[in-house]
């Protein structure tokens, strides 16, 4: 029986391995992590992440050929294929701070693999890493190899949160990069055989290592660029009376452009787009390509602009001050169907409103008050560096309250901001909300999910991204 061990039981490691275990009953899969609470949660009825369909997959194979453990060294030593799916955040200090990827977690995983291995291993980069990381990993492993043969593969993950299980069941493509040597090709084939259990052959792409590593950064940069493009146009729509939904539809009808990923928003969030683009920018700078670096930097700049534009719109429409006013925030997660708040635009919007001394009442169906308070108290980029985490209680923001109901959040509020596109926000009783709000009652729809005309009929003053006022 082939044995797989995955280091890192996070948003990628957990769901990816659960699907491999489900689709490959002949393979034993163990997911290991240094975080005891995370592993305990994976072994409990309340999984550590919320992802539609995940519970069902885990229930089917946990204890059969899927296991979660903190005994990292034992399972790494026993495995034939080791996936490394640890976090690769943005560096917060030293050389490249604020841009370069912090490979501390990756390096410590690689050193541990070198320490405990007694048989040949295929080591798979699942985390998103700078191009050429495989070379560094190879050095660490082979310098400590004790005669063991290591093959490094790059197999970046393209799943999106909220649709992870769907994406893993039916991936657009699986990408595998390896060395172009007989041993490298054999390792690529071994990983191909795993995916071939359920992914059609023509969707499994093989490339050289550097192409695979760079394709992941490029794919995220292209996706984020589309959002910044439509968001940039949304500002022009507001200035001219065009409607961004109509513009995006007309543009996306061109089959060369396509309709997906053209929803104007308060800005993109999530743990990866910003981090991966900053990483790409840093790599370009290190390779003497400042023009290319500046091109991609602009995608982040527009995203920051979109978030501050939203805050400015809220404050300026409400007579240039929100001091002491209650603002309801509906949605805190970075997108619907996830409880993940990493780099969510809600953090910047809330911080902006707090800067103007607003009283904020937040409701998100999946995010806890603890998480929200931690997010609002944390410095930029600190969220993915567990050792820098600040305690919650002393820094908890007093002007923020969190409630478990949209009607409670909006009661007595002067304004209402929709920051995540949860389906339930589309069908709220807005008449009831209006009746219980201060007047004039403002709605700022950062996701374009409500019909501005219907809300105006009720009596709201409505601002939607990229739509006529």
Instruction: Give the interface with ligand UGA as residue ranges (CB under 6 A).
Output: 128, 157-161, 220, 223, 227, 261-263, 265, 268-273, 334-335
> For the window 242-281, what string marks contact with ligand NAD as x by the rule CB under 6 A?
-----------------------------xx---------
Q: What strands, in cross-sheet order, belong to the sheet with 415-418?
A: 400-402, 359-363, 326-330, 415-418, 442-445, 461-464
Query: Per CB under 6 A, which region of 153-161, 242-250, 359-367, 421-429 contacts ligand NAD?
Result: 153-161
Q: By C-beta, is 42 or 273 nearer to ligand UGA?
A: 273
Taking CB under 6 A as the criterion, the residue among 3, 35, 229, 309 binding ligand NAD is 35
Decide which of ligand UGA, ligand NAD, none touches 335; Cβ closer than 5 to 8 Å per partner kind.
ligand UGA
For 101, list phi and psi in degrees, rounded to 5: -75, 140
Local structure of residue 132 (DSSP, 8 states):
T
Return the residue matching tokens 């998103």. 128
Which DSSP helix (H) or strand (E) runs through 250? helix 244-252
102 binds ligand NAD (CB under 6 A): no
Query: Per CB under 6 A, which region of 31-39, 223-231, 356-364, 414-422 contacts ligand NAD?
Result: 31-39
Q: Write down the catalytic residue from 5, 272, 350, 417.
A: 272
- The least CB distance from residue 345 to ligand NAD, in Å, is 16
Which DSSP helix (H) or strand (E) runs through 154? strand 150-154
3-state secondary structure of 163: coil
With beta carbons less than 8 A apart as the criterion, state whether 27 and 21 touch: yes
The gap from C-alpha 392 to its chain's centroid, in whole angstroms, comes to 23
Decide which of ligand UGA, ligand NAD, none touches 449; Cβ closer than 5 to 8 Å per partner kind.
none
133 binds ligand NAD (CB under 6 A): no
Please tell me the distance from the alpha carbon of residue 372 to that of residue 242, in angstroms, as a whole number: 35
Please tell me the distance from the alpha carbon of residue 80 to that of residue 96, in angstroms, as a whole number: 35
Please tell me the distance from the alpha carbon of residue 159 to that of residue 452, in angstroms, as a whole number: 33
Taking CB under 6 A as the criterion, the residue among 28, 138, 161, 421 binding ligand NAD is 161
Cα dihedral sign, 178-181-183-186: positive
Decide which of ligand UGA, ligand NAD, none touches 292; Cβ closer than 5 to 8 Å per partner kind.
none
- The least CB distance from residue 394 to ligand UGA, in Å, is 30
- The least CB distance from residue 263 to ligand UGA, in Å, is 3
- The least CB distance from residue 229 to ligand NAD, in Å, is 22
Return the residue matching tokens 């403002």. 442
Decide which of ligand NAD, ligand UGA, none touches 72; Cβ closer than 5 to 8 Å per partner kind.
ligand NAD
DSSP 384-416: G-GGGPPPSGGG--TTEEE-S-HHHHHTT-SEE
Known active-site residue 272: yes
Which DSSP helix (H) or strand (E) runs through 263? none
72 binds ligand NAD (CB under 6 A): yes
- CB-facing half-sphere around the CA of 218: CA atoms within 13 A: 8
Please tell me the distance from the alpha carbon of residue 8 to that of residue 5, in angstroms, as a whole number: 10
33 binds ligand NAD (CB under 6 A): yes
Decide which of ligand NAD, ligand UGA, none touches 400; Cβ closer than 5 to 8 Å per partner kind.
none
> For the window 410-449, what string marks contact with ligand NAD as x by the rule CB under 6 A?
----------------------------------------
Taking CB under 6 A as the criterion, the residue among 27, 30, 77, 87 binding ligand NAD is 87
Return the residue matching tokens 């991609």. 296
With beta carbons less than 8 A apart as the criterion, state whether 335 and 162 touch: yes
Reduced DSSP (H G I as helix, E B as strand, rest coil) percent helix, strand, coil of the chain, to 5: 45, 15, 40
Paired residues of 90 in beta bridges: 101
114 binds ligand NAD (CB under 6 A): no
- The least CB distance from residue 182 to ligand UGA, in Å, is 31
- The least CB distance from residue 387 to ligand NAD, in Å, is 11
326 binds ligand NAD (CB under 6 A): no
Please tell me the distance from the alpha carbon of residue 247 to that of residue 47, in angstroms, as a whole number: 41
- The least CB distance from residue 311 to ligand NAD, in Å, is 26
Question: What residues are annotated to the active site?
Answer: 272
**Which residues are at the interface with ligand NAD (CB under 6 A)?**
7-13, 32-35, 38, 72, 85-88, 105, 108-109, 127-128, 157, 159, 161, 271-272
């Amino acid at each position: 029986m082939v044995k797989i061990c995955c280091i890192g039981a996070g948003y990628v490691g957990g769901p990816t391995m659960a699907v491999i275990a489900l689709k490959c009953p002949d393979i034993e899969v163990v997911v290991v992590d240094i975080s005891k609470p995370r592993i305990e949660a994976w072994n409990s009825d309340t999984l550590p992440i919320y992802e539609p369909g995940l519970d069902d997959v885990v229930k089917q194979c946990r204890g059969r050929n899927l296991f979660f453990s903190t005994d990292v060294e034992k399972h790494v030593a026993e495995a034939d294929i080791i996936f490394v799916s640890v976090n690769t955040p943005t560096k917060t200090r030293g050389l490249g701070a604020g841009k370069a990827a912090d490979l501390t977690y990756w390096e410590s995983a690689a050193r541990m693999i070198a320490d405990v291995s007694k048989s040949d291993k295929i080591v798979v980069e699942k985390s998103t890493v700078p191009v050429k990381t495989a070379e560094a990993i190879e050095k660490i492993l082979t310098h400590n190899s004790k005669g063991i043969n290591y093959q490094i593969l790059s197999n970046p993950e393209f799943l999106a949160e909220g649709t992870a299980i769907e994406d893993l069941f039916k991936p657009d493509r699986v990408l595998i990069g390896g060395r172009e040597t007989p041993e490298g090709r054999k390792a690529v084939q071994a990983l191909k055989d795993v995916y071939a259990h359920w992914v059609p052959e023509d969707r499994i792409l093989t490339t050289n290592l550097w192409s695979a590593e760079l394709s992941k950064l490029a794919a995220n940069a292209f996706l984020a660029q589309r959002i910044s493009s439509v968001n940039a146009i949304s500002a022009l729509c507001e200035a001219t009376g065009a409607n961004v939904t109509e513009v995006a539809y007309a543009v996306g009808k061109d089959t060369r452009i396509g309709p997906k990923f053209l929803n104007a928003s308060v800005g993109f969030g999530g743990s990866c787009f910003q981090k991966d683009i900053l990483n790409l920018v840093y790599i370009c700078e290190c390779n003497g390509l400042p023009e290319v670096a500046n091109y991609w930097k602009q995608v982040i700049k527009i995203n920051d602009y979109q978030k501050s534009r939203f805050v400015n719109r809220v404050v300026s429409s409400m007579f240039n001050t929100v001091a002491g006013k209650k603002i309801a925030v509906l949605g805190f997660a970075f997108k619907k169907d996830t409880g993940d708040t990493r780099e969510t635009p809600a953090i910047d919007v809330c911080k902006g409103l707090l800067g103007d001394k607003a009283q904020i009442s937040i409701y998100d169906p999946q995010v806890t008050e603890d998480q929200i308070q931690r997010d609002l108290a944390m410095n930029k980029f600190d969220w993915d560096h567990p050792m820098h985490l600040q305690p919650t209680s002393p820094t908890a923001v007093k002007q923020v309250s969190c409630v478990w109901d949209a009607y409670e959040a909006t009661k007595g509020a002067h304004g209402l901001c929709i920051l995540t596109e949860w389906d339930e926000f589309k069908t709220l009783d807005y008449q009831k909300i209006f009746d219980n709000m201060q007047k004039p009652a403002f709605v700022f729809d950062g996701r374009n999910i409500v019909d501005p005309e219907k809300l105006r009929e009720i009596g709201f003053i409505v601002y939607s991204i990229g739509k006529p006022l």
